[in-house]
Amino acid sequence: MTTKQLPYDRTIVPQETGYWCGPASIQVVLDSLGIKVAEPDIASKTEALEGNIGWDDRDGTDHVSQVATVLNEYTSAGYFVVEMPQDPPTGEQKERLWRDLVASINGGHGVVVNIVAPRGNYPQAVAPSTISPTYGGGTVYHYMSAMGYSDDGPRRVWIADSGFAPFGYWMSFDQLATLIPPKGYTAAPGPVPPAPASVPAVGLTAETLSEAMGHTVPIERYRTLLPAFSAAMVAAGCTTVERAAMWCAQLGHESQGLRLFRELWGPTADQLTYDGRMGNGPGDGFRYRGRGAIQVTGRNHYTALSAWACDHGYVPTRTFFVDQPEALERDEYAFLGAVWYWTTQRPMNDLADARNLAGATRAINGGDNGIADRSVRYQRCLDMGAALLPTGGPVTTFIDAGVAQLHPTPGLLRTINRPQNINESTRDPNSAWPGAIWADIWNETVWDGYDIRPEYADVPDDVGRSAVGLLQTIAARQVRIEAKLDRLLGDK
């Protein structure tokens, strides 16, 4: 049985106007994290998200996604939004709410709920609280902060209520679950759970991919995309629950569930600015518009991606996508841009490891565009756990992935008999490319063209070398020793 309450300054709870319950709830959550922000400053940010720059329409906070956006601006917690449109809520919705409350509060992050309280269902205090809040005047539309929980006896939630005295009380969880529909709440992912003792034997399937992407396209389409999608996850190092969830959420948003591999073109006001930006000349904005699962955009990015892809054996020339930008839309290359961006342009896996959804969104989009949708996708993918892992199957999964990368790039199968000839990426574990690793393993263990040269015996002992290089040195010294013995025995 657990009872947990987050600390916060009780004196700041009452809201400063009749319509700032949203900013007041945000302020309480931030205060519990040691972040001190004035309520008017928070209100200016929620209003700006409604287009009210420098003024307040005094109609409150329109949607809970505004709360999540502001919380993510001040924290790296990765607040996500869950809507509860069904009233009354289903049993599954209630259990999801409880899980999110517990996980977020255990991680030190309060939960902001948007409630609708009709006259017959005003919030009521439960033991050990004795004073219920003074609601009245008809149906109340309100935001408040859930700052604690208890499952010692009937489940209950500690509420910091900015609108009504006594401004803090225990409420039954069952009542809270009836107050939220048809609105929603925003919570943060909980602490990273310990690694499971074993990983399921079945890796990512088309059905699982479809669920992660929101069933946007027919299952056969996901089945077609699955091999390339899985191989790209491996190449990008997305082989943990946190990384796989972030990968699927971000690519899912950018491509609308793997439905679009080319930016929709209006042109919009923003698209009209593409020419003259991002390395684009006249007419290049349309030519180098967003493509692939992560929407690689602009001539500069197409140029850098082409060079990287050629160096890694994916394409034949260093200007491949500059010359053929439409190729990036094709299934065979649609995820290549995502691998490039994920591993070379931003520290995406570091952000994923920290469960920093807001930071990852800014790294991809430059702002908080689509944060509500990304949040829903991210939490869904986190809930799916190890089922999303491309490495969830037996060891042959790794071997198949390596062979698949070697197959189209025979140029990697070259003679390697000295450590300085090994692929550069293999020597750097932080940027090792799986294709290069498999090529080196192949060459160092299977190729039968190695020889024994006298100079190998002279390599100093403190010089690093591969396993094959070490064997060559030992063999060369053995040959030298045998030659000396032959001479000595011959002299006798």
Confidence of residue 441 (pLDDT cuts 50, 70, 90): low
**Model pLDDT, residue 165:** 94
**Model pLDDT, residue 449:** 61
pLDDT digits (tens, 9 = 90+) for 226-241: 989 998 998 898 988 8
Give the mean pLDDT of 136-142: 94
**Model pLDDT, residue 43:** 95
Dihedral, 195, 198, 204, 208 alpha carbons, nearest 10: -80
Give the mean pLDDT of 443-467: 73
Say what percent of the chain tops pLDDT 70: 84
**Model pLDDT, residue 443:** 60
Give the mean pLDDT of 310-330: 90
pLDDT digits (tens, 9 = 90+) for 8-51: 999 999 999 999 999 999 999 999 999 999 999 999 999 999 88
Neighbours of 331 (CB within 10 A): 14
**Model pLDDT, residue 130:** 93
Neighbours of 430 (CB within 10 A): 8
**Model pLDDT, residue 407:** 40
Which range among 38-42, 195-199, 431-435 shows the weakest confidence by mean pLDDT? 195-199
Model confidence at 404: pLDDT above 50: no
Q: Which comes out higher in pLDDT, residue 285 or 76?
A: 285
**Model pLDDT, residue 408:** 40
Distance CA(360)–CA(366), nearest Å, equals 9
**Model pLDDT, residue 146:** 97
Give the chain's mean pLDDT: 85
Answer for the pair 297, 263: CB distance below 8 angstroms, yes or no.
yes
Instruction: Note if the bond before 182 is cis, omega within 30 degrees.
Output: yes
Torsional sign, CA 18, 23, 26, 32: negative
**Model pLDDT, residue 250:** 97
**Model pLDDT, residue 453:** 82
Type of residue numbered 110 = G
Q: Which comes out higher in pLDDT, residue 103 or 404?
A: 103
**Model pLDDT, residue 52:** 84
Say what percent of the chain tops pLDDT 90: 60
Helix axes 357-365, 241-254, angle to 10 degrees: 40
**Model pLDDT, residue 421:** 43
pLDDT digits (tens, 9 = 90+) for 113-126: 999 999 999 999 99
Give the mean pLDDT of 192-201: 41
Angle at 358 between CA 352 and CA 361, to 5 degrees: 80
Model confidence at 411: pLDDT above 60: no
Helix axes 357-365, 371-384, angle to 10 degrees: 130
Model confidence at 423: pLDDT above 60: no
Model confidence at 295: pLDDT above 70: yes
Model confidence at 322: pLDDT above 60: yes
Domains of the chain in start order, with CATH, are 3-187 (3.90.70.10), 206-388 (1.10.530.10), 396-445 (no CATH), 454-491 (no CATH)
Which of 155-164, 392-401, 406-415 has the highest average model confidence (pLDDT)? 155-164
Distance CA(369)–CA(156), nearest Å, equals 35
User: Strand pairing of 168-172 and 156-160?
Assistant: antiparallel
Compute φ and ψ for 471, nearest 5 degrees.
-60, -40
Confidence of residue 197 (pLDDT cuts 50, 70, 90): very low
Beta bridge partners of 356: none
Which of 27-36, 196-205, 478-487 has the highest average model confidence (pLDDT)? 27-36
**Model pLDDT, residue 373:** 93
**Model pLDDT, residue 50:** 86
